[in-house]
Each structure stands twice: as C-alpha cells, then as structure tokens.
C-alpha cells in the first residue's frame, strides 16, 4: 500500500520553503543596496547550503569577498576557509562574479 502524501510536501514544508525564499530575496535586495551584513549572510547560506539555496562555494566566495572588501573581518576568515576547498579556477570565477556584481550595482545606483 502506498501513501500518497509522501509525494506531496506538507503545508509546513511549503511554508518553510516560502519563508526561506523570502529571506534569501530580502538578503539579495539588501545586498543590492550595499548591506555588508547581507553579503556575509549570503556567503553563509551558499557555503552551508542553507535557507533554500544549494551549497555553492563559488557563490559563497563571491559574497564573502564582497563583505571582506567592505571591511567585514569574519567574512575574510570565511573566504579563506572555503578557498582552501576550491581550485584556482573556481576562485578566479568567484572574483569575476564579485567584480560583475559591483559593476552592476554601481550602474544601477547611478
């Protein structure tokens, strides 16, 4: 006998996913305004695969890098920690994405 509800998320998991999506969206919006804490929080989310995002060390490095450049000391340590697990090519890609983010957000602000 199969149990049909295994194939459908329950109400709590749907609500939880919606809350996590909203948290990431609000962090992205704050990051767009240059919020250093939002940069750091996004780095944490991507480095741990939490808050509804998949673990992505390139994205995590990008966000930690943006926070570190803006003066967030813990972000600099986190960036160094995950860099140990990345290839030189991945780090270069993360740095390219950080430059692109800065370029895009600077143009929007002007």
Indicate whether 87 belongs to any domain: yes
Whether 27 shows a pLDDT value over 70: the answer reads yes
Does residue 4 fall inside a structural domain?
no
Range of 31's domain? Answer: 10-109
SS3 72: coil
Work out the angle at residue 31's Cα, subtended by the Cα atoms of residues 26 and 34, and round it to the nearest 5 degrees. Answer: 140
d(CA 94, CA 80): 13
How much is the pTM? Answer: 0.80
- For residue 24, being part of any structural domain is answered with yes
For 63-99, how does the pLDDT look when each residue is reduced to its tens digit (9 = 90+)?
A: 999 999 999 999 999 999 999 999 999 999 999 999 9
| Helix, strand and coil percent figures for the chain, each rounded to 5 | 75, 0, 25
Cβ neighbours of residue 6 closer than 8 Å, sequence gap 6 or more: none
Q: In whole angstroms, how large is the CA radius of gyration of the chain?
A: 17
Q: Say if 29 falls within a structural domain.
A: yes
Share of the chain above pLDDT 70, in %: 80
Note whether residue 94 is domain-resident.
Answer: yes
- Angstrom distance (rounded) from CA 73 to CA 22: 27
Is 3 part of a structural domain of the chain?
Answer: no
Q: Domain tally for the chain?
A: 1
């Amino acid at each position: 006998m199969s149990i049909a509800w295994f194939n459908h998320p329950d109400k709590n998991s749907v609500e939880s996913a919606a809350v996590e999506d909203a948290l990431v969206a609000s962090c992205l919006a704050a990051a767009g305004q240059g919020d250093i804490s939002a940069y750091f929080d996004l780095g944490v989310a991507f480095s741990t695969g939490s808050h509804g995002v998949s673990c992505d060390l390139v994205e995590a490095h990008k966000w930690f890098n943006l926070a570190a450049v803006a003066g967030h000391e813990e972000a600099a340590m986190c960036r160094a920690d995950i860099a140990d697990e990345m290839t030189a090519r991945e780090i270069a890609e993360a740095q390219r994405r950080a430059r692109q983010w800065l370029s895009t957000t600077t143009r929007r602000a002007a």
